[in-house]
Every structure is written in C-alpha cells, then in structure tokens.
C-alpha cells in the first residue's frame, strides 16, 4: 500500500491583504491531497529564497521551522497503523501544530507587530486571552486586584492548560455560550463585539486561504450575530462646550488638557494619535492636512486626506503649546519624538490621551457637566453640533474622513430635548 507523503508548498490561489501567501504542509495519499497551515506567510520571492541552497540568515530560521513541522507530520504518519486523513488531523491538533484558533491568533499578533500595528496586535491579544479564559474555564474575576506579574503568570497557566481550539469547534452555539459567559463576568455587549470581531476576521482569512470551509462559518444571519452594543450618546450640547471654552484653568496642566480637547473639537474631531503625529509641514494657507492613522493601512478604500481650515482659536492653541522653534519636519505638539518604535509611540499616545482625559473630566466636574467627557466626546460633539446647526451629513462625513455617510450616522447624537420641544410646538401652532 502506498504511504502518505508530505511536502511544504506556497499556496498562491489567493493573496493575503499584505501581499503574502500562506505556506502550507501538503499531504498526499492515494492521489488525494489536503493542505494544512503552517502559520507562516511569505511572498513568492521569499519562498524561493528560503528554498535555495543558501537561504541566508533572514530565512534560515523559517526554513528550519518548516522542516521541523514537515518532519513532525511524517512521524505522525509513520505511527499510524493505517493512514486516514481524519486520524492524521486528530494527531495534528493534539500535537499543537498551528491549524486552530489560538495559533491563528498568535500568527496574526506577530504579523501585526511586525507591521508596526501595535494597537491592533493588542486588540487581538485581548480577544485571544478572553477566549482562552472561556475555554479553560477561568473567570475574569480571578484577575481582578492582581499585579501585572500575577496576571502574566495566570495567562501562562491558562495557555499551558487550554486544549487546542479547532475552527470546527467554533459554532453558533459555542459563540452564544461565550457571550453568556462574558455577561456573567460583568462584561458588556460592546466588549463582546470588540473581542469577537478579530475572531471573525481570522475565520474569513482561513476561508479565503482554503483552510476552513464556508459551511463552518458561524457568523451571520440565522447563525450567530455579533452584538452591536448600546449606542451611548457621547456628544455635548453647545452650552456645555461653551462652558469648557470659557473655563479659567487653575493650573497649567488643566490649561493644556482643556486646549488639547478643544483643538480636537475644532479640528474635525481629530483623535489624539493624529494630533500627536501632526508636523509643521502639514500647515499651509491657514489649514492643516492629514490622513487618519486609522486608515493609513486600509486596502479597501482609497486613502483620502482631510483638510481642516484652522479656526483662530485652533491657531492660538498651536501658538501656546506647539514646539519651538518651528521646524517643518518637527512634530507640532510635544508628545512624540523621532525614532520611536510602534510600541513606544503607542505608549506615548496612550499616556497623552490619559492625561487629557484626566483634566477634561476634572474640568467637566467643576462645571457641573454630568456626562462622561473624554477625547472621544470631542469627536462626537464636533459632528453632532454641526448636524444640529443644519449642516449636511455629507459634509460631516467628509470632515470626519469616513468612507460612507452610514458610518457618520453612528456619530450623530440625538437632538437635545429643548430642540425637540421647540419642534413639537408646531403640532399645536393653530393655538396661536
């Protein structure tokens, strides 16, 4: 009887978003072939370099890893009394080769970090850890009150004790149970959505590369639908914004925090990361032009720049807090410095956001503003104030840098009660 054979190939049927192709282990038995992911993606050129007689230091480690996986697969085959793809696949999962959900998460996290997308990598890591906690039966409550070292040890324990999670096990029922578990642990529907979107993306990648069949896809109508969460209204009314604008800061830190919040509000709801990345060279003819960092790696839509005419108050904020001397390639605000790694830049932006939020919350409390005011509130307030002023959704959508007006609708707050009341008086206008 012919034995099953193995080979490492590059699957060029469909490219991934970064232009690479998945490298796979091909198993052939009685003229039937099946392909198994290795967790490695390469361009065709790099795959050829790796397979050359002198792969070089860059690809030597990759080649050794792939050879080890092929050797392990061959050993599994040799130990089977009679070969079947079903028995082979069971052994692969048990032996921990990357053909399951957690391995797919790990590969994606490593890919995002290499591409400098630290925030996305952190998001995937949080999603992976949450799913691992669910599968292992560990409760979120067990992490509360622990130090970073203790949490790291707990996560390590979960990793060691959690069985592999094949994509085939993630069914609509599995996802419903996960959502219930998250709810019992006090996590919101919004958090569930944030953690399940990366899993959905991994499913789509696995289907696109042929590793998972479309029939196994657990998301969508008549299956499992990711909760959208509650749309909490985040915008401030014009009256509250005026209070913040007129507020007399007690300290320099308060003044800086208030001004950074106002700059965001005045400049199309610009987020802190984009503010931190602004350079003097982007200032021309009384306007500032930038591309949202959130869309700089987008392949779905053509990247478009946003041009914001600078209001006099925004110009004054730059004059007060901008770096001196004015150098074209210098960052305007003193948040980032040249040469930072993606992880270091992310940490700086997070700290700046935390600081702004600290002082704007303090100011809001002093002014008697009951809403939870954050940097995110500035973006929602920008769009909502314009909408209430009669500005078209199309204009607001362009100012926010959205790809469609549908996205913009999520940012538009409900009209203030007083505005509603004024409109409703028209119902009894005949009484006049």
- Residue 36 is predicted with a pLDDT of 82
Give the pLDDT confidence score for residue 321 in this predicted structure.
96
Q: Select, from the ranges 33-37, 271-275, 401-405, the one with the highest average predicted confidence (pLDDT).
A: 271-275
pLDDT, greater one: 32 or 230: 32
Backbone angles phi, psi at 311, to 5 degrees: -70, 155
Structural domain span for residue 126 = 116-216
Does a structural domain hold residue 78?
yes
The two three-digit tokens of residue 331, written as one number: 């960052």
Of 36-40, 267-271, 333-337, 350-354, the range with the lowest mean pLDDT is 36-40
Per-residue pLDDT tens digits for 82-110: 888 877 876 665 444 445 788 888 888 98
Q: Return the pLDDT at 98.
A: 46
- Give the model's pLDDT for residue 86: 79
pLDDT at 1 over 50: no
Q: Are 140 and 46 part of one and the same domain?
A: no
**How far, in Å, CA of 90 to CA of 98, rounded?**
13
In a domain, 124, yes or no: yes
Is residue 252 one of the residues assigned to a domain? yes
* Average pLDDT of span 317-331: 94
Which pLDDT score is estimated for 328?
Answer: 93
Side by side, the strands of the sheet bearing 287-290 are 283-284, 287-290, 306-309
Query: What pLDDT sits at residue 123?
Result: 92
224 is a domain residue = no
Parallel, antiparallel, or unpaired: how do β-strands 283-284 and 32-42 relate?
Answer: unpaired
In a domain? residue 100: no
Residue 363 has pLDDT above 90, yes or no: yes
**Position 153 pLDDT exceeds 80:** no
Domain count, the chain: 3
Once rounded to an integer, what is the mean pLDDT over residues 403-420? 63
Which of residues 216, 250, 265 is at a domain's end? 216
Are 212 and 243 found together in one domain?
no
pLDDT for 40? 85
Question: pLDDT tens digits, residue range 279-323?
Answer: 999 998 889 988 887 665 544 445 678 888 899 999 999 999 999
Same domain, 278 and 413: yes
Q: Residues 168-206: pLDDT tens digits?
A: 889 999 999 999 999 888 888 889 999 999 999 999 988
Same domain, 69 and 141: no
Q: Are residues 303 and 403 in the same domain?
A: yes
Lowest mean pLDDT among 51-65, 111-125, 263-277, 356-370: 51-65
Same domain assignment for residues 263 and 394: yes
For the chain, what is the mean pLDDT? 83
What b/e sequence results for 195-228 when a residue is b if at least 16 CB atoms lie within 10 Å of its CB, and e otherwise?
bbebbbebbebbbebebbeeebbbbeeeebebbe
Q: Is residue 307 situated within a structural domain?
A: yes
Please give the Cα distance from 334 to 357 (Å, whole number): 17
Residue 337 shares a structural domain with residue 200: no
When pLDDT is cut at 50, 70 and 90, the band that residue 429 belongs to is: low
Instruction: Give 260-306 as a DSSP string.
Output: HHHHHHHTTT--HHHHHH-BGGGEETTEEEE--GGGTT-SSS----E
In the predicted model, is pLDDT for residue 79 greater than 90? Answer: no
pLDDT at 146: 64
Query: Comparing 25-29, 57-61, 245-249, which segment has the lowest mean pLDDT?
Result: 57-61
From 186, 216, 246, the end of a domain falls on: 216
Tell me whether residue 227 is in a domain: no
Please name every residue paired with 224 in a beta bridge, in sequence order, or none if there are none. 219
Rounded mean pLDDT, 32-57: 86
Q: Is residue 274 part of a domain?
A: yes
CB 14 within 8 A of CB 22: no
When pLDDT is averaged across residues 20-39 and rounded to a whole number, the result is 87
Residue 252 has pLDDT above 80, yes or no: yes
């Amino acid at each position: 009887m012919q034995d099953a054979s193995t080979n490492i190939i590059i699957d060029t049927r469909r490219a991934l978003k970064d232009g690479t192709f998945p490298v796979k282990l091909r198993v052939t038995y009685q003229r039937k072939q099946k392909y198994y992911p290795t967790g490695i993606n390469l361009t065709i050129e790099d795959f050829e370099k790796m397979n050359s007689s002198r792969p070089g230091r860059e690809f030597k480690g990759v080649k050794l890893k792939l050879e080890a996986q092929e050797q392990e697969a061959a050993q599994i085959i040799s130990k089977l009394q009679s070969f079947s793809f079903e028995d082979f696949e069971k052994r692969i999962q048990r032996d921990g080769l990357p053909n399951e959900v957690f391995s797919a998460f790990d590969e994606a996290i490593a890919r995002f970090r290499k591409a400098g997308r630290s925030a996305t990598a952190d998001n995937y890591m949080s999603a992976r850890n949450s799913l691992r906690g669910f599968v292992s039966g560990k409760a979120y409550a067990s992490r509360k009150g622990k130090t970073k070292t203790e949490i790291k040890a707990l996560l390590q324990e979960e990793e060691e004790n959690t069985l592999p999670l094949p994509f085939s096990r993630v069914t609509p029922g599995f996802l419903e149970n996960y959502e219930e578990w998250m709810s019992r642990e006090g996590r919101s529907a919004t958090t569930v959505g944030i953690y399940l979107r990366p899993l959905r993306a991994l499913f789509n990648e696995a289907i696109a590369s042929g590793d998972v069949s479309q029939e196994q896809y657990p998301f969508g109508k008549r299956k499992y639908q990711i909760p959208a969460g509650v749309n909490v209204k985040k915008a401030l009314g014009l009256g509250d914004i005026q209070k913040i604008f007129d507020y007399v800061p007690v300290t320099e830190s308060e003044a800086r925090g208030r001004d950074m919040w106002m700059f965001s509000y005045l400049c199309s709801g610009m987020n802190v990361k984009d503010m931190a990345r602004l350079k003097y060279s982007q200032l021309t003819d009384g306007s500032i032009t930038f591309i949202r960092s959130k869309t700089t790696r987008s392949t779905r839509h053509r990247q478009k720049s946003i041009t914001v005419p600078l209001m006099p108050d925004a110009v004054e904020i730059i004059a007060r807090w901008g770096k001196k001397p004015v150098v074209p390639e210098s960052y305007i605000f003193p948040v980032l410095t040249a040469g930072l790694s993606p992880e270091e830049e992310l940490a700086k932006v997070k700290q700046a956001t935390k600081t702004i939020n600290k002082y704007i919350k303090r100011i809001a409390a002093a002014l008697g503003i009951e809403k939870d005011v954050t940097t995110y509130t500035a973006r929602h307030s920008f769009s909502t104030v314009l909408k209430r002023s009669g500005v078209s959704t199309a204009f607001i959508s362009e100012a926010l840098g959205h790809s469609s007006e549908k996205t913009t609708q999520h940012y538009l707050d409900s009209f203030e009660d007083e505005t509603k009341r004024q409109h409703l008086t028209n119902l009894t206008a005949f009484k006049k």
